[in-house]
Structure 1
Amino acid sequence: MSLTKIIAIAGKPGLYEILGQTKGGFITSSLINGKKSPVKNTQNVSVLSDIGIYTHETEIPLGQVLLSIHEKFNGNESLSHKAPNHELTALFGEILPEYDEERVYVSNIKKVIQWYNILIKNEFDFKTIKEDLEKLEEAQNEA
């Protein structure tokens, strides 16, 4: 499993793994409860590998931010996404000091922390993020 196969679906809690395609969408499995469900092409979904976090200079791939959290907590769960806002923003400031406070809202930080904890609970292999980021860097260097 890599971030290219994990999605967030607008209006639905948690994260979902893409299992396969159908004629009008795809089949997913919830990373929270394991239930399988169809997702239509008309639903608003975000692939985690395509998400970026705003900094003052550029956008940092979500995978890179998740790796930073993983390193900070030595592969364990981070604090809860329900922690007080000042604790969440302080944590995010440690993980990504250059994040743009005007464009990255507390709700975004809560999602990132929640997603990280879901991935940890599902024993996600964070080495796949490093591999994906290296491939992305190689493709950008060739262009």
Structure 2
Amino acid sequence: MALDKILSIGGKPGLFRLLTQTRSGFVGESLLDGKRVTVGMRSNVSVLSEIAIYTLEEEVPLREVFQKMKDKEGGKKTAISHKAEKIQLEEYFFEVLPNYDEDRVYASDIKKIIQWYNILLDNKITDFSESDDEDAASAPAEEE
């Protein structure tokens, strides 16, 4: 499953799998406990494939950061907990993304990224390449 079907919902812990869209929002399933939630259009929702991390040169897509974490950890969960001290979180993230912008990427952001990465691994979502939808959109449409 690609990151374009995984959501972060403001005010709700963890990540959610997009199940279906409704007229007034959508239905998501928690990756933590499997419970379904209905979310309205007014909720603060982020699709993981749309999130990027500030670096000193550019913005790096979150999927690339996850891939770097996966490479660093050998496909396993992170060696550090998302509940670690601020300085430890920053040291870890500096190893993953050495040129991240320390002024715009906060410890709370690093905590979320580490927590999300571990949740994705727990749910066997480890393909951090670009989604099929993006590949299909860039390919010319065939006419019959």
CA distance in 1, matches of 2:82, 2:94: 15
Name 1:101's counterpart in structure 2: 102
Q: Could you list the runs of 5+ residues in structure 1 that have no partner in the other structure? A: none
Counterpart residue type for residue 116 of structure 1: Y
Q: Distance in 2 between matches of 1:14 and 1:25?
A: 19
- Name the SS for the 1:123 alignment partner: coil
1:116 corresponds to 2:125: no
Task: Count matched residues.
Answer: 135
Alignment match, 1:8: 8
Q: Deviations over 1:93-138 (max 9, x none)?
A: 0100000000000000000000001001111132xx21439x47x9
Q: For residues 33-82 of structure 1, what are the alpha-carbon distances to aligned partners after superposition, in whole Å with 9 as ceiling and x for unaligned?
A: 00011111111100000000000111000000001001111111102100
Preserved CA contact (<8 Å) 2:6 2:48 = yes
Deviation at 1:28, TM superposition (A): 0.4
| Counterpart-to-counterpart distance in 1, 2:53 and 2:126 | 21
Check whether the contact 2:18–2:29 (CA below 8 A) recurs between aligned residues: yes
* TM-score, length basis structure 2: 0.89
Q: Distance in 1 between matches of 2:85 and 2:96?
A: 17
Query: Which residue number corresponds to residue 75 of structure 1?
Result: 75
Q: 2:75, 2:30 → 1: CA distance?
A: 22
Aligned to 1:21: 21
Q: Percent identity?
A: 48
CA RMSD of aligned residues (A): 1.6
Return the alpha-carbon distance in structure 1 between the equivalents of residues 15 and 113 of structure 2.
11
Decide which structure has greater helix share.
1
C-alpha displacement of 1:10: 0.6
